[in-house]
């Protein structure tokens, strides 16, 4: 089983209804999307986050359940759901975000909510996104990483939202503590530029490998993705697709990475370290194919296995 933790929220997507602009509520949040996509790809996944008792919380809960995500560690709360407002670039479909997070359910997980000890059925843990930058969720994530991982594989996606980082130096200290335990690290090019300004992506990847990360993946949107291990460096092109928007594309990519590795019993430190060049290429192609499907749909609507007949998986 893969445990995913991080914020959940409702993305308010701009749409046009009868010639009038409106906002469409769509379940989201980077870790939420990862859990959703894992469930749709038929990987065993459990989500750890508080969910509101309000109608939006019901929508979040129903969406995950319908995709086969285990919600046994998702306590319900009377706090209102976290909201994200999305602005789409009319040419590229790329998304810009603003969030309402204070005292909301999707950002309120506490260290006391983290199960201890984790059952042996949890093989890997995925963490990240802006939950690391806010309290109490950031402390909950750090508690999980420090107390419970042991020999489990740790996957990290920083998914930086700089406008939610109140104190850059303090955040970087926490991020580096967590990254220092990571085995699989996926970063967007924007993450690299914010976390490591004036550094080349290849140099950043090699520095993480030197620090103990087993596989570093850097995604470049329409320009494809690259993966770095101790032995190999592999790049693939992004599939051609008519982009509706890019909401959840990176999260789907992340979930597909985890799914591919889990299916082949490579979602371990040793498994990641021993991937061949051909395997890494297949891994990136599968993740890119999954992400391209999400780009062809409104909001984060990840593919199922049936949606990926031509993918190498």
Interatomic CA distance for residues 140 and 131, integer angstroms: 9
The residue extents of the domains of the chain are 2-307
Question: Is-contact 102 79, C-beta < 8 A?
Answer: no
Stated as kind and residue range, the H or E segment containing 288 is: helix 277-295
Bigger pLDDT: 256 vs 92: 256
Q: Is the pLDDT of residue 4 over 90?
A: yes
> What digits encode the pLDDT tens for the residues 234-273?
999 988 888 777 778 899 999 999 999 999 999 999 999 9
- Characterise 20 by phi-psi region: left (phi > 0), alpha (psi -120 to 50), beta (else): beta
What are the residue ranges of helices labelled H in 149-195?
Answer: 168-179, 189-195
Task: Tell the burial category of 308 from Cβ atoms under 10 Å away from its Cβ (0-12, 13-18, 19+).
Answer: middle
Return all residues near 117 (Cβ < 8 A) that are at least 6 apart.
Answer: 148
Bridge partners, residue 228, by sequence? 216, 233
> What digits encode the pLDDT tens for the residues 154-170?
999 999 988 888 899 99
> What digits encode the pLDDT tens for the residues 162-213?
888 889 999 999 999 999 899 999 999 999 999 999 999 999 999 999 999 9
Specify the 3-state DSSP secondary structure of 115: coil
Interatomic CA distance for residues 231 and 140, integer angstroms: 34
> What digits encode the pLDDT tens for the residues 16-46?
666 778 888 889 999 999 999 999 999 999 9
Q: Is the pLDDT of residue 311 over 70?
A: no
Buried b (16+ CB within 10 A) or exposed e, 148-185: bbeebbbbbbbbbbeebbeeeeebeebbeebbebbbbb
CB atoms within 10 A of CB 273: 16
pTM of the model: 0.92
When the candidates are 3.10.100.10, 3.40.1190.20, 3.40.50.150, 3.40.50.970, the CATH number that belongs to 2-307 is 3.40.1190.20
Q: Give φ, ψ of 214 to 5 degrees.
A: -90, -35
The pLDDT of residue 168: 93
């Amino acid at each position: 089983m893969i445990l995913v933790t991080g914020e959940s929220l409702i993305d308010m997507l701009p749409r046009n209804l009868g010639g009038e602009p409106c906002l469409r509520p769509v379940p989201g949040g980077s870790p939420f999307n990862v859990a959703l996509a894992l469930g749709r790809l038929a990987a065993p996944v459990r989500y750890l986050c508080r969910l509101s008792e309000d109608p939006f919380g019901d929508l979040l809960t129903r969406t995950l359940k319908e995709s086969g995500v285990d919600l046994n560690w998702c306590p319900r709360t009377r706090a209102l759901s976290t909201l994200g407002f999305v602005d789409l670039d009319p040419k590229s479909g790329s998304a810009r975000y603003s969030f309402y997070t204070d005292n909301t359910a999707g950002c309120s997980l506490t260290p006391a909510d983290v199960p201890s000890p984790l059952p042996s059925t949890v093989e890997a843990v995925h963490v990240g996104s802006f939950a690391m930058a806010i309290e109490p969720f950031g402390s909950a994530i750090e508690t999980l990483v420090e107390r419970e991982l042991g020999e489990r594989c740790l996957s990290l996606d920083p998914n930086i939202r700089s406008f939610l980082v109140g104190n850059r130096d303090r955040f970087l200290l926490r991020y580096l503590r967590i990254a220092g335990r990571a085995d699989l690290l996926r970063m967007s090019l924007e993450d690299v530029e914010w976390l490591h300004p004036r550094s080349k992506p290849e140099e950043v990847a090699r520095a993480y490998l030197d620090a103990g990360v087993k596989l570093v993946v850097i995604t470049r949107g329409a320009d494809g993705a690259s993966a770095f291990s101790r032995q190999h460096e592999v790049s693939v092109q992004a599939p051609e697709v008519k982009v509706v928007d890019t909401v959840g594309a990176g999260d789907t990519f992340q979930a597909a990475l985890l799914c591919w590795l889990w299916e082949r019993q490579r979602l371990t430190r040793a498994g990641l370290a021993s991937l061949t060049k051909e395997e890494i290429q297949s891994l990136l192609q599968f993740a890119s194919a999954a992400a391209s499907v999400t780009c062809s749909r409104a909001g984060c609507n990840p593919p199922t296995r049936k949606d990926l007949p031509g993918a190498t998986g």
